[in-house]
Structure 1
Amino acid sequence: MLQELKEAYGFIFEDELIEEINSVGKLQFKAQGKKIIEIGEYVKMMPLLIEGAIKIMREDKDGDELLLYFLERGDTCAMTLSCCLGQTKSEIRAVAERDTKLILIPIEKMEEWISKYKSWRDFVFASYQARLTEMLDTIDTIAFMNMDQRLMKYLEDKAKINQNEIIAVTHQQIAYDLHTSRVVISRLLKKLELDGKIKLQRNSIEIMAL
Structure 2
Amino acid sequence: MTNKLLQQKFNQILDNDLLKEIFESGIYKEFKKNDIIIDINQPLNYIPLLLTGTIKILREDNHGNELLLYFLESGDTCAMSLTCCLKTSKSNIRAVAESDSSLVLIPTSKIHYWFQTNDSWRNFILEAYQIRFNEMLETIDTLAFMKMDERVYKYLIDKVKLAASTSLDIKHNDIAEDLNTSRVVISRILKQLENEKKIKLSRNKIEILNF
* TM-score w.r.t. length of structure 2: 0.98
Query: Structure 1, residues 167-207: CA drift from partner, whole Å, max 9, x if none?
Result: 11111111111111111110000010011110101011111
Q: Name the structure 2 match of 1:122.
A: 123
Larger CA deviation: 164-173 vs 35-44: 164-173
The match for 2:103 is 102
Q: Distance in 2 between matches of 1:2 and 1:74?
A: 14
Unaligned runs of 5+ in 2: none
What amino acid sits opposite 1:164 in the alignment?
Answer: S
Deviation string, structure 1 residues 62-115 (Cα, Å, up to 9, x no partner):
110000000001100000000111110101000001110100111000001001
Matches for 1:75-154 after TM superposition, within 5 Å: 75-154=76-155
Contact 1:40 1:91 in 2 (8 A): yes
Give the TM-score, by structure 1 length.
0.98
Query: Could you tell me which residue of structure 1 aligns to residue 183 of structure 2?
Result: 182
**Distance in 2 between residues matched to 1:186 and 1:37, nearest whole Å:** 30
- Using the alignment, how far apart are the partners of 2:14 and 2:54 within structure 1? 21
Give the whole-Å Cα distance in 1 for the aligned partners of 2:89 and 2:199.
42
Partner of 2:15: 14
User: Which amino acid in the other structure matches residue 10 of structure 2?
Assistant: Y
Distance in 2 between residues matched to 1:93 and 1:201, nearest whole Å: 30
Per-residue CA deviation, residues 7-46 of structure 1 (Å, 9 max, x unaligned), is 0000001110010000001111101111100001011111
Residue 3 of structure 1 and its aligned partner are, at CA, apart by 0.5
Contact map agreement 1:24 1:105 (CA 8 A) in 2:
yes
Aligned-partner SS, 1:50: strand
Q: Structure 1, unaligned stretches of length 5 or more?
A: none
Equivalent AA in structure 1 for residue 191 of structure 2? K
Whether the aligned pair in 2 keeps the contact of 1:46 and 1:81 (CA below 8 Å) is yes
Alpha-carbon RMSD across the aligned residues, in angstroms, is 0.7
Q: Distance in 1 between matches of 2:60 and 2:30?
A: 25
Contact kept in structure 2, 1:39 and 1:92, CA below 8 Å: yes
Q: Distance in 2 between matches of 1:170 and 1:149?
A: 18
* Displaced runs of 4 or more, over 4 A: none
Partners of 1:118 and 1:97 in 2: CA distance: 31
Do the aligned residues in 2 keep the contact of 1:98 with 1:162 (CA within 8 Å)?
Answer: no
Partner of 2:89, secondary structure, is coil
Q: Is the 8 A contact 1:196 1:208 kept in 2?
A: yes
1:156 is matched with 157
Amino acid at match of 2:13: I
